[in-house]
Amino acid sequence: VQLHQSGPGLVRPSQTLSLTCAISGDSVSSDTGAWNWIRQSPSRGLEWLGRAFYRSNWSFDYAESMKSRMTIIPDTAKNQFSLHLNSVTPDDTAVYYCATHYMDVWGEGTTVTVSS
Amino acid sequence: THLTQSPSSVSASVGDRVTITCRASQDIRSRLAWFHQRPGKAPRLLMYEVSILQSGVPSRFSGSRSGAEFTLTVSGLQPEDFGIYFCQQTFTPFPFGPGTKVDV
C-alpha cells in the first residue's frame, strides 16, 4: 500500500484547508481498512485528527477538537480520501499526514502554512 | 488518556542500549504502539500491542508493559536508530506521547 498526498501549502486565515490522499494497493472502501488524517506541529506534537472507514456504510471518527470544522470525504471513483478543515487560523499550521488503518503506512506529509 | 514519555531526550552512542518509558494516565491495557521518526520524514511504525514488531523491524527493538507503564528498548543502537520515538494509544482518539529524542 502507498499513499500520495496533494494539496496547497499555503492557506489564508478563515479559509478552508483541503488535502487529498490517493491510495494505491488497497481500496478506500475496503471493509477492513480505515483512513486517517494526522498532523504534527512544534506546539501540538503529533495529533490524530480523524478517520473514515467503510463497514456496509461509511463511518467517521473525529477528534473532539476537530468535530465542528473538519470533514473527511472518501472518493471511491478515484480511490482517495480528502480532508477539509474550515475556518483555519495560524494555529492550524502543521505538517499534515494521511495514514492507513494501523498507521503502518503514511503519506509523505504536506506542510501547510496558514498565513495572510 | 494522556501519555507522557521519559526521558524527553537522551544522548547515546552506536552500540548502546537505550530504554524509553511511556506512561498512560489510565488503563489502556496492551493497546500501545511505538513509532520512530527521522527529520523530514513521516513516523514509522515499530511495534504494536506493546511488543509485536511490525514487519521489517529488527529484533534489537523490544517492548514491554507493567500496568500503565510501557517500555521501548533498543539493544545495540545503530546509526539509523537516531531520531524521535513516540508512543501512541491505538484506539480513539489515538493520542501520541510527546516524543523522546535520541541523538549522539
> Is A106 at the interface with chain B, CB within 8 A?
yes
Q: What is the mean pLDDT of each run of 10 residues along chain A (116 residues)?
A: 97 98 97 96 97 96 97 98 98 98 97 98
pLDDT recorded at residue B53? 98
pLDDT band at B52 (very low <50, low <70, confident <90, very high): very high
Q: What pairing do the DSSP bridges indicate for beta strands B69-75 and B83-89?
A: unpaired
A108 to chain B, closest Cα gap in Å? 6
**Which chain B residue lies closest to A38 (C-alpha atoms)?**
B94
The DSSP 8-state label assigned to residue A77 in this structure reads T
Q: Give the model confidence (pLDDT) of B18-34 as tens digits.
A: 999 999 999 999 999 99
Burial (Cβ within 10 Å: 0-12, 13-18, ≥19) of residue B86: buried
Helix (H) or strand (E) holding B83: strand B83-89
Beta-carbon pairs below 8 A across chains A and B = 39
The closest of A98, A99, A93 to A112, measured between CA atoms, is A93
CA B5, distance to chain mean position in Å, is 9
- What value does the mean pLDDT take over residues B58-67? 97
CA distance B60 to chain A (A): 19
Cβ B92–A61 below 8 Å, yes or no? yes
- Residue by residue, DSSP assigns B53-70 as EPTT--TTEEEEEETTEE
Burial class (CB in 10 A: 0-12, 13-18, 19+), A103: buried
**Distances A84 to A50, B48, B74 between C-alpha atoms, Å:** 11, 29, 39
pLDDT band at B104 (very low <50, low <70, confident <90, very high): confident
CA A72/CA A82 separation, integer angstroms: 6
Q: B38 φ, ψ to 5°? A: -100, 160
